[in-house]
Each structure stands twice: as structure tokens, then as C-alpha cells.
Amino acid sequence: MQDLDEFTVTDAVLEQMARTTDPRLRQIMEAGVRHLHAFAREVNLTPAEWLEGIKFLTAVGHASTPIRQEFILLSDVLGVSALVNALHDKTATEPATQTSLLGPFYRDGAPELPSGAQIVREPGAKEIVQYGRVIDRDGNPIPHATVQVWQTDAHGLYDLQANDPETMDARGNFRADALGNYYFRTVRPLGYSIPMDGPVGKLVHTQARHGMRPSHIHFLIGAPGFRELVTALYFADDANIDSDTVFGVSSSLVVTINPKDPACPIPGLPGVRYDFQLAHASADGEGRVGADPASIVPAH
């Protein structure tokens, strides 16, 4: 019989898990246990603190519904989503547009819209046109790529946060043309606070963080033979451009609105141009850190 102490307990757990037949699962769980044990030793974790942690994770689970994913939010505010995205980008076979967060507000089945359509039901005055090309590493067009977009409405809310989450708004699925061109009408999105009314928001508040995300539009772009791109474009003049609560901004994804854009495909409207570059597909698979909340906690 083994006498376990705060060090030998780690080896005992690893020994029991050593028969795991899936080698990747074994590698992930071994490293997870080693780091978790090292963390507990480093902070000299007390029983009361561990119970607090268990209560917190339980609350995160309870806050997760078909229209709200509190665990994705937790991953985001801890920088894990941004870290996993950065690791994913490193495995691309060639240069491509950087990944950014999918976030908790992506939805499957957004409306299919024709090029140039307005994605916001009540656009109001501040319309802009987002346009550009979907290209490969050499700048060649990728014809007919799918371009899914979503953003907040004029009040800084996603449709999933609005009163009637059944209604889709401020999102749409487009298709680039034969030359890789895409364009759509929208409104300038507002920067917004991540949901602060749940356990993750409470944590962020306790850490004296502002909880804001700078103004942005999300994109999920795909084409046969290419690695799917999950990214977002961030507006340069937002006050929180350098302090995103979920670490999604990088300089290559920052854009500005040109109020008098001669190349804008809808003349007279301010334009934002951005070309998305896709890498060819590789064996490493797809890159979504997240999913439609309804696919994780199904509605019943």
C-alpha cells in the first residue's frame, strides 16, 4: 500500500490513467492532472477555496442554455480561446488571415442573403458597406466562398440577447462571386460589454476589469479545399481597442471606415475594405473554438 502525500498523489493518479488507450486523450489528461496538481500546490489551495471553485463551475454550467454559453465566455475571459486560436494558426500550411474569437453568439442557420443585402432589420442612419475579396496565399480569388457574418445591433446587443431570441438579426450568410468578391450593408457595430449578469461577469467584475469588447464584426469563411477561417474585424477608433476583455484583437484585424470611399460597391455609403486570405486545408482539421450554444445545450 502506498502512503500518499501532496507530491506522490500526482504520480498515483498518472499511474491509474496510464492504461488509457487513446494516446491523445492520455497525453491531454496527464498534462492536465500534472498542471492542476502543481497549481493546487503553488497556491496551497484550501478546502474552502476548492469548494468555491466547484461552486463557481457549477454556476457556469447552470448559466449555460441553448441561447447562452457561459463556458465559452469563461474560456474567452481567461484567454484560453485566444491561446487555442494562436496555436491553431501556427499549424496552417501557409500565410493566412489571423483567427479571432468565435465568441458565444455564433448561430447556425442564419439567413442566406444576396450580395449587397443589409443584415440589420432596423439599420437607422449609420450604414456602412463591408467589402473585399476572399483570396489564397498568392492573391488569387477563391470563387464562391461562403461568408457568414454576425454582429451587435444598433443598441450593442446580439439577437440572442434581445427580447425575442427566436428572431435572427444582424447576421447573414453570403457567397463571394466568381472573382472572390463579397460585400454587404450593415451598421457600424457598437462596442459592448460581455454578459456581466452571470458567474463569469461576476468574476471579471471582481478582477476590476471593464468587461468591454471593442466594436467588431464576426466572420466565418469557408471554401472547399481551404481551412475554415473564424475571425473578426475591429474598428480602430474604439476606446477599448487595446484592452479587449477576451483578447481577440490583433493589429492585422483592425480596420477603419472610409467615409468617402471611391471603391465602395454601393456608391455614397462609407466603406470598409478587407481581403480575407485562406490557407489550403491541412490534416490538422478545423478551427472553431466554440459553437452555436443550441448545439451544446440542445433546446427541449
Number of residues that bind Fe ion (CB under 5 A): 1
Q: Where are the alpha helices (DSSP H) in the chain?
A: 8-17, 23-43, 47-62, 70-77, 80-90, 199-206, 293-296
Q: Strand locations in the chain, DSSP E?
A: 127-135, 146-150, 171-175, 181-187, 192-193, 212-213, 216-222, 229-235, 254-255, 271-273, 276-277
Among 88, 213, 230, 287, contact with ligand BEZ (rule: CB under 6 A) = 213
Q: Does 200 bind ligand BEZ (CB under 6 A)?
A: no
Q: Is 253 one of the binding residues for ligand BEZ (CB under 6 A)? A: no
75-104: contacts with Fe ion (CB under 5 A) = 103
Q: In the window 43-82, what residues touch ligand BEZ (CB under 6 A)?
A: 73, 76
Question: What's the CA gap between 1 and 220, in Å, rounded?
Answer: 55
Contacts of residue 191, Cβ cutoff 8 Å, sequence gap at least 6: 156, 212, 213, 214, 215, 216, 238, 239, 240
Residue with the CB atom nearest Fe ion in the bound state: 103
Distance of CA 209 to the CA centre of its chain: 19
Q: Binders of Fe ion among 183-202, rule CB under 5 A?
A: none
Among 97, 104, 227, 229, binds ligand BEZ (CB under 6 A): 104
The three three-digit cell numbers of residue 83, written as one number: 491561446
Tell me: does residue 290 bind ligand BEZ (CB under 6 A): no
Among 60, 86, 83, CA closest to 72: 60
Cβ nearer to ligand BEZ, comparing 35 with 155: 155
**Closest residue to ligand BEZ using C-beta atoms:** 103
Applying CB under 6 A, which of residues 92, 113, 194, 204 lies at the interface with ligand BEZ?
194
> Minimum CB separation from Fe ion for residue 103, in Å?
5
Residue number with CB closer to Fe ion (31 or 239): 239
Residue numbers at the binding site for ligand BEZ (CB under 6 A) = 73, 76, 101, 103-105, 194, 213, 246
Residue numbers at the binding site for Fe ion (CB under 5 A) = 103
